Amino acid sequence: MLKSLRLQLAAWYLAFFSVLFLAFCLVLYGGLSRALERRLDEGLAMTVNISAKLMQEELDEMDGDAPQAAEEVISKMGPSSGEIAILEGTRLVAATDPGDKADLESAAAEVVGGSSERAAWILPHWGKSGARAGTKHLSFRGRTFVVLAVEPLDSIVRGLQVLRQTFLLAMPLLLAIAGIGGYLLTRRGLAPLGSMVEQTRTITGQNLETRLEIGKAAEELTTLAASFNELLSRLDQSFASMRRFVQDASHELRTPLAVIRGEADVALSHERSTAEYKESLAVIQEESRRLSRLVDDLLNLARADAGHVQLHVEQLYVNDLLSDCCRSVQPLASARNIELECRPGEDVAVRGDEELLRRMVMNLLDNAIRYTPPGGRVSAMIEAHGSDVRIRVADTGVGIAPDATGRIFERFYRADKARNRQQGGFGLGLAIVKWIAESHHGAVDLTSQPGQGSTFTVRLPAIN
């Protein structure tokens, strides 16, 4: 098998061309040989017609002297009219070549009997390749005459032979030209493919921003290059976001680790009182909790990216879920002097993973409480909207600036870095909310007025 596409295409082209050329030769050859034979037959018909007419006139003139009339006809027709024989009944009267008397008589009998092929065979020396014959009857005063004309096929056969030889000679030459031409054409047509291969070889994780250039090429190849370039930009984007993720994650891990190490170093630097040790351990404990939370969140997001999170989907009532979550965050709200209003409403069922949905609502409530100053209000409610269930968490907090709303769901994004770190966030909460909503075929929206408050709404498909 040919491995190269170029050679394969050229071979197909050559095979197709050979069949076409062969068919062309056969049609031409057949058509030409038929046309030549037809012309010969027409010539023979004309010769016998003229000869018969002449014979009639000569017989009239010579008062029925058949031999003389026949001789006269033959000499008038001349040698260019091929072989002519005139018979009376089955007896030869005169012929261009009367030496073949017996042959001519039986040939005439065959032709009259309807077989010009056999007549030609009887007269072999009149043409090596056979001959064709024509006859015409005429009557004169009760006597019957037959005019026989025979034309050898030699010239036709020779002509066709020359044609055959020409075909045989031309065939290899033409096929060679077609083969080379086909190869050069496919090579030219596929050249951009080679250049694409060369260019893709140089692309690695380090230069994913490279794009293939193929300039002017066939539509199929430019489409291929374009879709390859699209693939590259998607890869480039995910590589960039992966790199950013790793950078941000390491950055976030550094702070709690530094605090833990610092605290331990200080505590161990010299003897301390039990109270001091306890204080240091409490700081270490708090930072370790933060670290665990961060690592959990990171792990969740990484699993979600890899598509490895198996949702434990079951039917559940979101209003129950909301009540539970409100109960859990109530102490935090009270501690921050925030009024928490929970309006779970009637039973509304959805299908989903209870643990994940709980985490989603907790993240929203946690944010609402954290980013609302003391004295503010946080309200959570459920609304059933036809095929949708909406979980709404609204607060009267600091709000989010319009330029930040677009980025709020990005990983590690925090609207106010310094303050938010102190408040304990890593900027992963909303990214997780978004992922959980989407993995339940839902979505999360945000409306916010800086200084006045924010409202987060999660839409989930309801069970009808």
What is the rounded CA–CA span in Å between residue 356 and residue 296? 13
Q: How many CB atoms lie within 10 A of CB 172?
A: 9
Q: Which CB sits closer to ligand ADP, 134 or 453?
A: 453
> CA 442 to CA 434: how far, in whole Å?
9
**CB 326 to ligand ADP: min, Å:** 15
Residue 82 binds: one of ligand ADP, Mg ion, none (C-beta under 5 to 8 A by kind): none
Q: Which residue has the tokens 């003139």?
A: 61
Residue 232 dihedral angles phi and psi, to the nearest 5°: -60, -40
Q: Which residue is nearest to ligand ADP (CB)?
A: 425
Name the residue nearer to Mg ion (CB basis): 130 or 429. 429
For residue 428, the minimal CB distance to Mg ion (Å) is: 8
From ligand ADP, Mg ion, none, which one binds at residue 29 (CB under 5 to 8 Å depending on kind)?
none
Total of chain residues touching ligand ADP, rule CB under 6 A = 23
57-65, 263-271, 339-347, 359-367 -> range binding Mg ion (CB under 5 A) = 359-367
Cα–Cα distance list, 323 to 34, 316, 356 (Å): 100, 13, 16
Q: How far is the CB of 259 from Mg ion (least distance, A)?
A: 20
Of the candidate residues 371, 389, 392, 437, the single one contacting ligand ADP (CB under 6 A): 371
Nearer to Mg ion, 6 or 411 (CB): 411
435 binds, among ligand ADP, Mg ion, none (CB under 5 to 8 A by kind): none
Task: Indicate the length of the chain as a whole number.
Answer: 464
- The nearest distance, CB 455 to ligand ADP, in angstroms, is 9
Cα 402 to Cα 345, 355, 376, 420, 449, distances in angstroms: 31, 32, 21, 18, 8
Site for ligand ADP in 375-414 (CB under 6 A): 395, 397-400, 408, 413-414
Pick one of 40, 368, 436, 460: the residue that binds ligand ADP (CB under 6 A): 368
Which tokens sit at 122?
A: 């009887």
DSSP single-letter state for residue 462: B
**Pick from 171, 124, 177: nearest CA to 29:** 171
Terminal CA-to-CA distance of the chain, rounded, Å?
A: 61
> What are 445's two structure tokens?
């929206």
Give me 85's structure tokens.
């024989």
Residue 397 interacts with Mg ion (CB under 5 A): yes or no? no
Q: DSSP secondary structure string, 413-433?
A: --SSHHHHHHTT--S-HHHHH
Q: Of 148, 152, 202, nearest to 37 (Cα)? A: 152
- Which residues in 188-219 are b (16+ Cβ under 10 Å) and which e? eebebbebbeebeeebeeeebeeebebeebee
- Residue 85 in contact with residue 44, Cβ under 8 Å? no
**Residues 145, 138 contacting (CB under 8 angstroms):** yes
Identify which range of 95-103, 202-210, 364-372, 383-391 contacts ligand ADP by CB under 6 A: 364-372
367 touches Mg ion (CB under 5 A): yes
Q: Which of residues 419-438 bind Mg ion (CB under 5 A)?
A: 425, 429
Smallest distance, ligand ADP to C-beta of residue 448, A: 7
Nearest C-alpha neighbor of 433 from the set 463, 413, 462: 413
Nearer to ligand ADP by C-beta: 47 or 367? 367
CB closer to Mg ion, 152 vs 256: 256
| Residue 333 CB, nearest approach to Mg ion (Å) | 15
Nearest to residue 340, comparing CAs of 400, 398, 399, 393? 393
Burial 227-242 (b: 16+ CB within 10 A, else e): ebeeebeeebeeeeee
Place of tokens 């409403």: 345
Binding part of the chain for Mg ion, among 89-97, 126-134, 294-302, 365-373 by CB under 5 A, reads 365-373
Per CB under 6 A, the list member of 120, 356, 415, 444 interacting with ligand ADP is 415
Beta carbon of residue 245, minimum distance to Mg ion (angstroms, whole number): 17
Q: Which of residues 420-449 bind ligand ADP (CB under 6 A)?
A: 420, 425-431
- Considering the rule CB under 6 A, would residue 154 count as an interface residue with ligand ADP? no
Question: Which range binds ligand ADP by CB under 6 A, 147-155, 201-209, 382-390, 415-423?
Answer: 415-423
By CB under 5 A, the count of residues binding Mg ion is: 3
Which residue, 321 or 398, is less far from ligand ADP as judged by CB?
Answer: 398
Question: Of the two residues 214 and 378, which places its CB atom closer to ligand ADP in the complex?
Answer: 378
Specify the residue, 81 or 367, whose C-beta has the smaller distance to ligand ADP.
367
Binding-site partner at residue 134 among ligand ADP, Mg ion, none, CB < 5 to 8 Å by type: none
Spatial distance between the Cα atoms of 292 and 34, rounded to a whole number of angstroms: 97
CA-based max dimension of the chain: 167
DSSP SS3 for 11: helix
| Contact footprint for Mg ion (CB under 5 A) | 367, 425, 429
| Contact footprint for ligand ADP (CB under 6 A) | 363, 367-368, 371, 395, 397-400, 408, 413-416, 420, 425-431, 454
